[in-house]
Amino acid sequence: MLSQLSISNYAIVEHLELDFRDGMTAITGETGAGKSILLDALSLCLGERADAGSVRHGASRADLAVRFDIEGLPDARAWLAERDLDDTECLLRRSVTANGRSRAWINGVPATLADLKALSEHLIDIHGQHAHQTLMREETHLRLLDDFAGHSDKVEQLTQIYRQWQQASRRLKAARENGDEQQARCQLLRYQVEELDALALGEEELSALEEEQTRLANAEELITQAQFAADCCDDDESGALNQLNQARQRLEQLPGSDSGALANILSMLNDACIQLQEAGYELHRYVSSTELDPDRLMTVESRLAEIHRIARKHHVMPEEVPALHQRLQAELSELQDGGEDMETLVEATETARNAWRELAHRISEQRMEAARRMGEEVQSQLAFLGMEKADFTVDITRRDTAQPEGMDRVGFLISANPGQPARALTRVASGGELSRVSLAIQVVAAQHSTIPTLVFDEVDVGISGATAEIVGQLLRQLGSHGQILCVTHLPQVAAQGHQHLHIEKQADEQTTHTTMALLDEGGRVRELARMLGGVHLSERTLAHAREMLDVSQRSAH
């Protein structure tokens, strides 16, 4: 439950700390005193958007914090544990600067507004004074019925399945629309890949062919020149080897040739003779191995011509043909796999649609049963609120098209007087009737809520007299099973509270600020008298207020 609220430099509140108890807490104060400040500050801590104008004039920022006792709230503790946050307490903080920037924390860890809102769903539920306006919307009726039925988790699951179904349907439609284009592309790719398969050009084949073509085309010239070079190396009279041998022999005959510079020169000449002899042998071997082969030359040139033709056809360089072959094969394989994906998409679409239909039917059956029970309970509350003759019905009809939340359309119908046909709640003319119907629905919803803390913000608008006292009794009864905070302008309601929080605005020549405090018995009597009779409190008004408080507290026991 809500245990503490701290406010600093927010609106006209300089500093305020409030401790809350279980049961029903009535919150009152004159118009403009700042009752809305309390709920606005609470809403900020629960993830509502911040406004720079809410920072107290002259302050640099506003700080707000709210603490909840979550010992008996397994869902809230599980939410915190899943995010590795301390799950033994729940402290929500919010800071708003004068330039509108905002920060938030959960148990001291920075958090987003979405985090605050998600966690707050397990902590508190606020029923606003304009709740009857939301009852004018059909989607509100469906949500309230699902909350009453207690299967909101199943509806969320149904919504997820619906999204999967729609996503698969969109992908299937796109695949079918692109089918003809893909088929034409597949045909072209098959032809191109088959052509390149037939070419079967290896990675290094082109360079090898070009080298062989050069050698074959110049074979005759190569043989002639290699033979000439071999002859030059020979040891006949005109050969280079013969000349080197003569030079070596002459030097060897000189005195002292075995030492000094001549010895080094003779060594080099000996090496040169050996190298020249080896070169001659290799040249003769090259000449003998090189043949004139015009048939092979024709074959090689034909192969090169085919490679260049296909390269030109695909607008690539000849050396890029193998890479092109791989790319086209990959694209063809992907498109062919896309045909298998089509079957997968059809299966995924059918699976999601069938799963949606099955779950939607189960939820629809549960809604029908919950609609009957909810109608009976709201009608019972309406009788308690002075509308004994009213006939309230939760009407369910089938939608023409599937929706994320199911196949049902829910509407609240009411006949305020016997003999009158039931009409949609949106067509109820009397504001007082609408207020009481709204309150009855909210009370029924609250009775089935798993949220421990419920806030009612002037839900008694349009109600007075004996009905107001009954409203107070209803709220007190709810407070006996949890925590109720009720902002009210009716003394009959305020008198039913287990405790009473008073909000007061005080001003001097320089500043205006708001104070809030829990009232003792005497303070409650004076506040109820003010609500009954205005500023000037007579003994009669005080006596009436004291009697009202005594009767309310005694009847509650």
270 occurs within a structural domain: yes
Encode pLDDT of 22-42 as tens digits.
999 999 988 766 777 888 899
Q: Would residue 498 count as lying in a domain?
A: no
Strand partners, 18: 5
pLDDT exceeding 70 applies to what percent of the chain? 92
pLDDT at 290 over 80: no
Across 123-129, average pLDDT = 76
Among 110-124, 239-253, 307-321, the least confident range: 239-253
Does pLDDT of 339 surpass 60?
Answer: no
Q: Output Rg (C-alpha) for the chain, integer angstroms.
A: 48
- The dihedral formed by the CA atoms of 479, 483, 486 and 490, expressed in degrees to the nearest 10: 20
In a domain, 91, yes or no: no
Read off the pTM.
0.59
Decide: 30 and 72 in contact? Cβ < 8 Å. no
Average pLDDT over residues 307-327: 91
pLDDT over 60 at 43, yes or no: yes
The DSSP bridge partners found for residue 483 are 23, 453
Tell me, yes or no, whether 231 lies in a domain. Answer: yes
List all residues 6 or more positions away from 293 whose beta carbon is below 8 Å from its beta carbon: 216, 219
| Cβ–Cβ under 8 Å, residues 454 and 125 | yes
DSSP E strands in 107-156: the ranges are 109-110, 124-127
pLDDT of residue 374: 95
Q: In this structure, are strands 483-487 and 453-457 parallel, antiparallel, or unpaired? A: parallel
Q: How far is CA 10 from the centre of its chain?
A: 32
248 located within any domain: yes
Whether 290 is in a domain gets the answer: yes
Q: Could you give the 3-state DSSP secondary structure of residue 104? A: strand
Most confident region among 156-165, 178-187, 331-340 by mean pLDDT? 156-165
Tokens at 52, concatenated: 């720079």
Q: Phi and psi for 458 in degrees, rounded to 5?
A: 50, 45
Q: Report if residue 197 sits inside a domain.
A: yes
Whether the Cβ atoms of residue 20 and residue 498 lie closer than 8 Å to each other: no
Q: What number is the average pLDDT over the span 401-427? A: 86
Q: For residue 132, is pLDDT > 60? A: no
pLDDT for 309 beyond 90: yes
Residue 533 lies in a domain: no
- Quote the percentage of the chain above a pLDDT of 90: 36
What's the whole-number mean pLDDT along residues 459-487?
83
Mean pLDDT for 524-543 is 87
Q: Note the pLDDT of residue 130.
A: 52
- Please tell me the least confidently modeled range out of 74-78, 443-447, 459-463, 542-546: 459-463
Distance CA 151, CA 149 (A): 6
**Residue 4 near residue 483, CB atoms below 8 Å:** no
> In sequence order, which residues have a C-beta less than 8 Å from that of residue 203 and are 6 or more positions away?
322
Residue 465 in this model has a pLDDT that exceeds 90: no
Tokens standing for residue 393: 């019905």
pLDDT higher than threshold 80 for residue 513:
no
Q: What share of the chain is helix, strand, coil (3-state, %, to 5)?
A: 60, 20, 25
- Is pLDDT of 105 > 80? yes
Q: In the prediction, which pLDDT does 352 show?
A: 95
Q: Give me the number of domains the chain comprises.
A: 1
Q: Hey, what are 63's tokens?
A: 């700080």
CA within 13 Å, CB half, 210? 8
Matching residue, tokens 């905002």: 102
Instruction: Give the domain range for residue 235.
Output: 182-336
Give the type of residue at 229.
A
**pLDDT: which is higher, 435 or 56:** 56
Q: Return the pLDDT at 341.
A: 66
